[in-house]
Chain A
Amino acid sequence: MKKFFQREYLFLRRSLNLPARLLLIVAAVAVLGAIFLPLWQIRLVAPQYQEGLAIKIYAHKLVGGNGGQDLNEINELNHYIGMKPIVQEDFVEMKWLPFAFGIFALLALRAAVVGRMLSLVDLGVLVLYFGTFSLGNFYYRLYTYGHTLDPRAPMTIKPFTPILVGSQQIANFVQTSLPQSGALLLGLFPALIVAAIWVSRKEEP
């Protein structure tokens, strides 16, 4: 046991080699890119909406397709089932998400400069926690939209949860929800950290 702790202690003190530091710079750029690129898209297709209605979710904004009109249309349709309008103001995380992404970028750069394995493990754990929390939060939002339906709405439907990843049928609509380029960059961030750890795993402390 003592030996394990010693190895662990040594591992965390290992220094980062050049490839690892470069990977961290790439990671910083990736997470910064995720601020400006769409993270998620929800698309709705129905017989009379062959062209589809789309909402793109960014770190800092909610954008309806067709010049914003699709979001109005989705809300217009949702009022029949008593769903509350999807508006950007309700997404409080959009106020701090870009800030958080910025912090990740800074921490990645810090790790690149400090050059110690410990910083990477810290950052990796933080990102894992953050990612799990964000996805959970997103799922909860979808759940809430589909489960807090106005009982006085013209149409009564069984409460539902819009799908997070993939497709499902809701009444006459097929809803498809998929991560976008921003989310892929965000996913790249922990992968790059793992890669940086991997390439430096045998470096001297």
Chain B
Amino acid sequence: MKSIHQLILAGASAAVLAVLSGCNPPGKNAAAASGKTAGVSSPAARTWVAPGDKDEFYLFYSGGHSGQVYVAGLPSMRHITTIPVFGKYPGTGYGYDEETKAMLGDYTWGDVHHPGLSKSNGLYDGRWLFVNDNANNRIARIDLRDFKTKQILGPIPNSMGNHGSSFVTDNTEYVLVATRFSTPLPKGRYADPADYEKEFNGAVSGIKVDAKSGTMSVGWQILTPPFDWDLGSTGKGPSSGWAFWTSYNTEMAHDQLEANSTQKDRDYAAVVNWRAAEAAVKEGRITILDGVPMIDPAKVPGVLYYLPVPKSPHGIDTDPSGRWIVASGKLQPVASVFDFTKIQAAIEKKDFESEFRGVPVIRYESVVEGEVPVGLGPLHTQYDGKGNAYTSLYIESAVAKWKLPPWTAEERTDLNKVVTDKIAVHYNIGHLVVGGSDTTQPYGKYLVAMNKMSKGRHISVGPSQPEDSQLIDITGAKMEMIYESFTEPEPHFAQILKVDAIKPIEVYPKAENANPNAVWDAKDTGVTRRGNVVEVKMIAIRSHFTPDKIEVNEGDELVIHVTNVEQTPDMIHGFGIVEQNVNLVIDPGETKTVRLQMKKPGVFPFYCTNFCSALHQEMQGYLAVKPVKLAAQ
């Protein structure tokens, strides 16, 4: 009996093996499917950037509530650097020297959502990257010449919760800003939230960018009802000169928004003629509210129109041609495609379905081209410039690929037919980005899905979990997942830029250093005392500081200017003073200043914090603080 059992078992397992091997024909085994083979066309080969080789694209991720911008390379997805913006960053000394301290002000964090690259003629010009701060109503400009934050504007007056930002117009005339939260205006005024509809207001704004210097200032603001402005985009081609924002909560609820703001089947998107807004400011058809020009759209017709959009929409994205505007109602499984030429015609013919507080509401049926059934929880749409759109599906954890209009008569009867592909992402995708999607000529090639949940995808790191970013190849008819990486909280949107579009400097040229406190030679360094203020002009060079001894008295104010006189790439010096909370990091050719009160006596070593040379450890000195008593002698 026993032997018969064994025979049957053996026979059965042989059959199982035969079936399994049948599933794995030679050359197409499980390893190939998961990208592990070294074939040229395998995902592994396509994302492999060998040691010493460089990536093809920059990926500028927003860092969310970390307040920073992360820079990765594509296709490797390697994190290369972090650009600190709204938060201190000890690694580069950001927020520790007087200049960046002043730029940050009293805020210790920001909430970066949507990076926007500067453009010329509708294409990325590689000059600046703008990022918004959803938390403290600011906007910042990063210079791509040195990857440093150069200006933080804000808190912007009459703006609360700058979410619908920082989308850039065709020639970087304006960067968009909008209020996610409404508030009694001007800010600082009290009103009972129960009087929300009457007392609260929102605004959409254009931040003017100086074409030469990039300096930002508030260009115009348009007063709106207290809707929650969500996301935006700028027009191009036929829609050039226009800007769009979605809103949720046209119900104007002030509490329990989860239920109270989701009652209507359609909310309003703002369709803004920003050239008209610019003209209104020029012609003085504005009031000054909290120091900035505010336009009342009821009094300046032609500046603002409302466009009904299916249910609590999130993203509103203009396609590369500028004709199609896609808004996604996150609570309805469709992406609504609007035809801007029809919007213009409707405005011309005054084809309005109603008016809200003096602002015309465009008739939905007259301007909608179609509602594409993309899937559950559509949020954002990106374009490859080849007539395809890619919509992120939060609830479904997928990306849908679909065809933009014009559609055939057959497709029109069933728009399911324009949805050509779908790929699962892991999990709960928020934004997605296709390189150059917001320009007139997208790069296509790659799509990065930025997923909110990464649980189970990475080695466990405890309850605080990173976000998940997935690289998808969009060159073929079918999307193909080729890489996955993990990012600290929390990328929202991102921008992709061709590496050769910019040529960053790697040292600050000595000739450009205009800092009056910069010194370049040991003989020009020194310590000078004016009353209670002791000022030090110091140089840092491999492998010493000059001077390397500073003597002050307790109660003095000490001002130290350190110039890194190196002109060699990557020859960065740090200047840390032990137990004095001083942390300067000075790039080659840069001068940084720190100001501190000498509160306690003693001798405090200072040293180079950023490893520079073989004698880096020896790069040190002393700050000697005489106690009041001894100093008096």
Contacts and interface: CB of A to CB of B under 8 A. Distances in A.
**Most chain A CB atoms below 10 A, which of B541, B567, B615:** B567
A154 B542 CA distance: 12
A35 to B, nearest CB: 28
Nearest to A69: B567
Nearest to A155: B614
Interface of A is mostly: helix
Interface string B538-568: 0001110000000000000000000000111
Contact of B614 (A69, A76, A80): A80
Nearest to B542: A76
A76 B541 contact: yes
B615 A72 contact: no
B615 A154 contact: yes
Interface string A52-96: 000000000000000001001100100010000000000000000
Nearest to A48: B570
Interface in B493-549: 541-543
B615 A73 contact: no
Interface in B378-409: none
Interface of B: 541-543, 566-568, 614-615, 618
Contacts of B566: 76
| Pairs of residues from A and B, 5 with the lowest C-beta to C-beta distance, nearest first | A69-B567, A73-B568, A154-B615, A76-B542, A72-B567
A80 B567 CA distance: 17
Interface residues of A, number: 7
12 contacts: A69-B567, A72-B567, A73-B567, A73-B568, A76-B541, A76-B542, A76-B568, A80-B542, A80-B615, A154-B614, A154-B615, A154-B618
Interface of A: 69, 72-73, 76, 80, 154-155
A69 B568 contact: yes
Contacts of A76: 541-542, 566, 568
A76 B614 CA distance: 13
Contacts of A80: 542, 614-615
A154 B619 CA distance: 12
B584 to A, nearest CB: 21
Contacts of A72: 567
A47 to B, nearest CB: 12
A72 B566 CA distance: 9
B28 to A, nearest CB: 41
A154 B292 CA distance: 61
Contacts of A155: 614
B8 to A, nearest CB: 66
A72 B589 CA distance: 13
Nearest to A76: B542
Nearest to B614: A80
Contacts of B615: 80, 154
B84 to A, nearest CB: 27
A75 to B, nearest CB: 11
A69 B571 CA distance: 13
A76 B541 CA distance: 9
Given A72-B567, A76-B541, A76-B568, 12 more contacts: A69-B567, A73-B567, A73-B568, A76-B542, A76-B566, A80-B542, A80-B614, A80-B615, A154-B614, A154-B615, A154-B618, A155-B614
A184 to B, nearest CB: 32
A2 B533 CA distance: 93
Contacts of B568: 69, 73, 76
A71 to B, nearest CB: 11
A112 B543 CA distance: 59
A154 B618 CA distance: 10
